[in-house]
Structure 1
Amino acid sequence: MDGKVAVLIPCYNEAITIAKVVDDFRRVLPEADIYVYDNNSSDGTAEIAREHGAIVVREPRQGKGNVVRSMFRDVEADYYVMVDGDDTYPAEAAPALIAPLAAGEADMTVGDRLSNGTYGEENDRAFHGFGNDLVRWLIRRIYGFAFEDVMTGYRAFTRAFVKTMPVLSAGFQIETEISIHAVDKRWRIADVPIDYRDRPEGSESKLSTFGDGAKVLMAIGALFKDYRPLAFFSWIALVFIALGLVVGVPVVAEFFATGLVPRLPSTVLAVALVFCGVLSLASGAILDTVAKADRRQWELKVYEVLEQQRRNQA
């Protein structure tokens, strides 16, 4: 495989596991640069990672999304492997994640914990699995793409993907944002089955099942609005118009029967609801034009990054 590889490890209080994670990736990918971005850890994570040969960078803005944003901006490489610092993902799977990228078959590979059943066997947090399934179902229904595992923290990317990825999330919504961005921008995606192991004793997850789960669902809605505004606002328009018809049809029927409109408030409400529906549809059409213009600019940016990469390789 030709090309420089960077291993990106976002960390917050992972002193128990970070040494093993860094050592494992140094063994499996000896030519790679290993970056540990420390997110205000108070347990010595940064010092341990540095002692084991990692390039340590501090990110003061709290949240995994903020860490990933800095990683994508700062680090220069041809291929990027992003993995959590909790020692739940095997370093031995990294070459399999990079291989489709190096072969030109994918732009993002996803470490799939679910297909081989290891996540179900090792993970004892039932709602985490349910949340993953819910997010997968929503993405499949909205975007028509079926991820095997959308919430995994083990992925690999090409340089073009990383350098054109606009990271907006601040927290654990980042995996969902990356996944939806990849589908919306029609990047080539490959699922790579991996083994999963639960955290070792004493290591605790920073993910709040319900709090972060709610943020993920809100992020899906916000990205749906941003990426596909016509579809988003069409659903809102349908709701308003349906409510308007429910309120207005009896008024119209009474008018045809008697020639009178005795329920004026109902009439005004029905007209207002239908008007809101039409306004929502018009807003979606306008924003859809804006989104398509943004997509064109993004495509040109991808060409620029690819051309720069070719010049650097030459």
Structure 2
Amino acid sequence: MTAARVDLVLPCLDEEHALPWVLARLPAGVRAIVVDNGSTDRSAAIAREHGARVVTEPRRGFGAAANAGLEAADAAYVAFCDADASLDPAELPRLLALVEGGEADLVLGRRRPTSRRAWPVHARLANRVLAARMSRRTGVRLHDLGPMRLARTAELRSLRLRDRRSGFPLEMVLRAATAGWAIREVDVAYAPRAGRSKVTGTVRGTVTAVADMSRVFAEVER
């Protein structure tokens, strides 16, 4: 079997309905690492049936699952993507090309909704505020926190990310900027997810995520 060029980390909590589509969309050279973060459905079994590597992370939290996937990765590049079918892994080669070509060290997928149902208004407004704050802090004009992202595995590990909750993606961007990384955005399609979101699908989830990210802003110094 040819070694993967990219390990795609898919934090997963009860995504049995979305995983078959997501895993069927993997481009050549991309291997899936599904991190089961306490699923009560058949997510782990389905991931294995579709050829994914499954890692179990009992500590609940997006950051805990994402970090477990990062630690398990052994390809030269690592990517992250939601496992809910809202994002298409087939778009990853465009992100990879920028890093391989030396144009960026971290590439974020800027979400472009394919329908009004894809991105609730309260979540979109919260993201806009966070993006503006992130741009001021990093000095890089950014529009989205970007749940799809890609970087070199060894370099990303060197950032020693500590957040294990919703602040993990933000901490990655802040620490990358502090380290002098070139950060780029690429437009990616954003479709309605399969099932209800644990975060952006509810006002409470969005408020919790914003609180986590506000804490990260306070903790990460430039």
Per the normalisation by structure 2, the TM-score is 0.90
Q: Which amino acid is 1:130 matched to?
A: L
Q: TM-score, normalised by structure 1?
A: 0.65
- SS of residue matched to 2:25: helix
The amino acid that maps onto 1:112 is R
Partner of 1:86: 84
| Partners of 1:41 and 1:181 in 2: CA distance | 30
Change (3 A) 1:119 1:181: farther
Q: Does 1:211 align with 2:205?
A: no
Whose helix proportion is higher, 1 or 2? 1
- Report how far residue 24 of structure 1 moved: 1.1
Residues 122-271 of structure 1: pairs in structure 2 closer than 5 A: 122-150=117-145, 152-200=146-194, 203-207=195-199, 208-223=205-220, 227-228=221-222
Structure with greater strand percent: 2
CA distance in 2 between partners of 1:101 and 1:78 (Å): 11
More relative contact order, 1 or 2 (CA 8 Å, 6+ apart): 2
- Which structure 2 residue ranges, 5 or more long, are not aligned? 200-204
Residue 250 of structure 1 corresponds to: none
In our comparison, the structure showing a higher alpha carbon Rg is 1
SS at match of 2:35: strand
Q: How much identity, in percent, do the aligned residues show?
A: 26
Measure, in 1, the Cα distance between the counterparts of 2:4 and 2:52: 19
What RMSD over aligned residues (CA atoms) do the two structures have, in Å?
1.8
Shift of 1:189: 1.2
Query: Counterpart of 2:62?
Result: 64
**Count of aligned pairs between the two proteins:** 215
In 1, the alpha carbon distance for the partners of 2:136 and 2:16 equals 40
Report deviation, 1:59: 0.8
CA distance in 1, matches of 2:98, 2:32: 21
Return the offset for 1:33: 2.1
Q: Secondary structure of 1:76's match?
A: coil
Q: Show the counterpart of 1:53.
A: 51
Using the TM superposition, name which of 36-45 and 166-175 deviates more: 166-175
8 Å contact kept, 2:70–2:78: no
In 1, Cα distance between equivalents of 2:36 and 2:8: 14
